[in-house]
């Protein structure tokens, strides 16, 4: 077998070693981070009422990590799948929501793992970076400019993928938790803990926003309720 093609590929990969290092580090970080964080950030088990509610919506208890953060109302998923990932939930969120609502939020985050959303969100920019490197290698400066010209379409595609994963995780949660998930979204928005802007700026109007609005999420869920106004949110938060 001729070695020239293999040598050319090896030389190309060495030319772009920084790119490969970033991609590999990113994927390994997503894979390993949940296990490290689960050991270093866990502060205890879920309160019994929340644990029962979480079990009722089909989330394994060993996938949920409680983080000591009374001043932060957050929940997020880390990992590639439900097999190796974890759902992290702050003590502040557990205090802010009723058990059924907290379980619904956990189910939403678990949906990102069960539905394998992270590979989609990581894979799109990674594929773009590799394609840009190939283009720049083959066509030099012209390839670099071509890759730069595709940056805006990529941002649009990445935003669309991110919003789709949120809607998909919403549906995943609602199928198991029912109206408790819409209740949780509304309560978090009223308290100012949910990213939502009823008057989006130019960036969001160009569909580059990475997160759907509360109104869009409730509409997708079929929740027949009125979105809280900014004034109502501030009043509830106070």
**pLDDT the model gives residue 89:** 93
Identify any residues that bridge with 60 across adjacent strands, giving them in sequence order.
Answer: none
Give all strands of the β-sheet with 75-78 in edge-to-edge order: 64-67, 86-90, 75-78
Residue 152 in tokens: 């805006």
**pLDDT the model gives residue 200:** 56
**pLDDT the model gives residue 228:** 43
**pLDDT the model gives residue 87:** 93
Mean pLDDT by 10 residues, the chain (238 residues): 51 55 57 55 79 96 89 88 89 95 97 90 71 65 71 78 93 95 94 68 57 89 54 41
Number of other CB atoms surrounding residue 153 within 10 Å:
10
CA angle 106, 124, 12 (to 5 degrees): 135
**pLDDT the model gives residue 237:** 41
Contact in structure between 55 and 74 (CB atoms under 8 Å): no
Instruction: Report how far residue 75's alpha carbon sits from residue 215's, in angstroms, rounded to the nearest whole number.
Output: 20
CA 187, distance to chain mean position in Å, is 20
**pLDDT the model gives residue 153:** 77
> Coil, strand, or helix at residue 78?
strand
**pLDDT the model gives residue 140:** 67
CA 110, distance to chain mean position in Å, is 10
Residue 214 in tokens: 């509360």
First to last CA, the chain: 73
**pLDDT the model gives residue 234:** 43
In the chain, where the domains are located: 4-237
Number of other CB atoms surrounding residue 28 within 10 Å:
10
**pLDDT the model gives residue 141:** 74
**pLDDT the model gives residue 20:** 55
CA 130, distance to chain mean position in Å, is 22
**pLDDT the model gives residue 7:** 52
């Amino acid at each position: 077998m001729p070695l020239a093609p293999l040598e050319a590929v090896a030389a190309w990969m060495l030319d772009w070693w920084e790119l490969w290092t970033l991609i590999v580090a990113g994927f390994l970080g997503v894979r390993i981070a949940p296990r490290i964080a689960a050991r270093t950030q866990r502060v205890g088990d879920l309160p019994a009422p929340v644990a029962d509610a979480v079990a009722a919506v089909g989330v394994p208890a060993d996938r949920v990590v409680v983080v000591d953060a009374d001043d932060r109302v957050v929940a997020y998923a880390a990992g590639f799948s439900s097999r190796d990932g974890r759902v992290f939930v702050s003590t502040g969120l557990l205090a802010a929501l009723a058990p059924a609502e907290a379980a619904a939020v956990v189910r939403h985050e678990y949906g990102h793992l069960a539905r394998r959303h992270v590979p989609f969100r990581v894979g799109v920019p990674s594929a773009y970076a590799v394609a840009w490197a190939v283009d720049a290698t083959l066509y030099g400066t012209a390839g670099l400019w071509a890759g730069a010209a595709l940056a805006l379409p990529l941002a649009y595609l990445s935003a669309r993928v991110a919003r789709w994963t949120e809607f998909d995780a919403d549906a995943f949660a609602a199928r198991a938790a029912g109206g408790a998930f819409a209740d949780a979204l509304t309560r978090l928005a009223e308290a100012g803990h949910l990213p939502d802007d009823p008057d989006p700026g130019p960036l969001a109007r160009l569909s580059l926003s990475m997160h759907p609005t509360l109104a869009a999420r409730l509409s997708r869920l079929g929740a027949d309720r009125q979105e809280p106004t900014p004034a109502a949110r501030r009043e509830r938060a106070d």
